[in-house]
């Protein structure tokens, strides 16, 4: 019953546009990811619920605070994001896209790929690989 409640809450949050991955949600609430993923799939399939994909722009806005980004830096990251969207065909995690845009914004200030990757819950290799594809 607990998992059903929290899974339903997660679906509602995503429908409202909150950019949180299931693994991140489970980690915050100390839920078992495997079980929650099972309930999530079952609910959206059986009820025909359409959950929108996570928007990288919203991720940038949410993760800006822990990185100490100014509003100008956030806007610059969003400009990078828009440029990147034109080059990316698909198959890239919104977390990786957002983290890479933030890295391009903050790299001159000395913020490392490792720090950004940690805050976004990805690996620095993901950022480097996307940078290679984009040729930045």
Answer whether 21's CB lies under 8 Å from 95's CB. Answer: yes
Residue 87 has pLDDT above 90, yes or no: no
SS3 112: coil
Answer whether 10's CB lies under 8 Å from 40's CB. Answer: yes
CA distances from 1 to 8, 66, 85, 126, 129 (A): 11, 33, 40, 36, 41
Answer whether 93's CB lies under 8 Å from 80's CB. Answer: no
CATH topology of domain 56-134: Cyclin A; domain 1 (1.10.472)
Question: pTM of this prediction?
Answer: 0.86
Which pair of tokens denotes residue 20? Answer: 């949180």
The per-residue pLDDT for 1 is: 81
Tell whether the torsion through CA atoms of 36, 37, 42 and 44 is positive or negative. Answer: positive
What values do phi and psi take at 49, rounded to 5?
A: -80, 130
Q: Flag the least confident range among 20-24, 85-89, 92-96.
A: 85-89
Which pair of tokens denotes residue 134? Answer: 């984009």
27-82 pLDDT, tens digit each: 999 999 999 999 999 999 999 999 999 999 999 999 999 999 999 999 999 999 99
């Amino acid at each position: 019953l607990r998992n059903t409640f929290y899974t339903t809450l997660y679906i509602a949050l995503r429908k409202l546009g909150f950019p949180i991955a299931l693994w991140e949600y489970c980690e915050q609430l100390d839920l078992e990811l495997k079980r929650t993923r099972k309930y999530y799939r079952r609910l959206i399939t059986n009820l025909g619920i359409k959950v929108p994909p996570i928007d990288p722009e919203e991720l940038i806005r949410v993760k800006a605070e822990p990185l100490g980004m100014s509003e100008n830096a956030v806007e610059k990251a969003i400009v990078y994001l828009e440029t990147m969207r034109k080059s990316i065909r698909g198959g890239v995690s919104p977390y990786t896209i957002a983290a890479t845009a933030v890295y391009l914004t903050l790299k001159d200030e000395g913020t490392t790929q490792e720090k950004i990757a940690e805050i976004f819950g990805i690996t620095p290799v993901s950022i480097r690989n996307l940078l290679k594809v984009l040729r930045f």
